[in-house]
Structure 1
């Protein structure tokens, strides 16, 4: 993230460099963590009764992991030349598709 909170990405020209390898390692760790959190969340959600705090915890961790996974997907997409849609575009699609229901 930049100082003003915007994501920053490596270019495809930096592939194989030290920073690129560090970014790849970080992305791999984020995906591993997401898999672990998903598995633990599924186990917790199988419980008959979860309290508000447990549900909040699961929701928070899943949200964090989803944000990381989306950042990894966007970064990798940009590196292979896939145009990154603006987040507002996705939200407009979701809002428009549900308007007629």
Structure 2
């Protein structure tokens, strides 16, 4: 497998051992990339479901503090996932934008551009 040096490592939507970030070197078309895409989709759907559930609970005057604490704990997990997804997608978008503009990472000229 070859890896384009202009393609950054992809931050995966799940933590590695000890909760540390987990990265993948990929062109975006492999089995692990597809698994990461699926995981991101599920995580975003779950976050949306939690928001809908929160709206329902806020309309219920009989909701208990224990129920709200439980929901907030799940929303904390979901927001952590969503932030990780946003960070990963933002990094990939920046590289895509740089490549389209004819520059490499950090605005450096692309090695394919030749001398200017």
List, as ranges, runs of 4+ consecutive aligned residues in structure 1 with deviation greater than 4 Å.
none
Normalised to the residue count of structure 2, the TM-score between the two structures is 0.62
Distance 2:22 2:94 in 1: 15
Correspondences of 1:53-92 after superposition (within 5 Å): 53-81=66-94
The SS at the match of 1:59 is: helix
The alignment covers a number of residue pairs equal to 81
Asked if 2 retains the 8 angstrom alpha-carbon contact of 1:2 and 1:8, the reply is yes
> Secondary structure of the residue that 1:74 maps to in structure 2?
helix
Deviation string, structure 1 residues 17-46 (Cα, Å, up to 9, x no partner): 111011001000000111111101110111
1:47-94: CA deviations, max 9, x gaps? Answer: 113221011012111111111111111111122237xxxxxxxxxxxx
Q: Determine which structure has more spread, i.e. the larger CA radius of gyration.
A: 2
Report what 2:48 is aligned to.
35
User: 2:72 and 2:38 mapped to 1: Cα distance?
Assistant: 26
Q: What SS does the aligned partner of 2:24 have?
A: coil
Question: What's the C-alpha RMSD, in Å, of the aligned pairs?
Answer: 1.7
Within-5 A mapping of 1:15-34: 15-34=28-47
Distance 2:66 2:33 in 1: 38
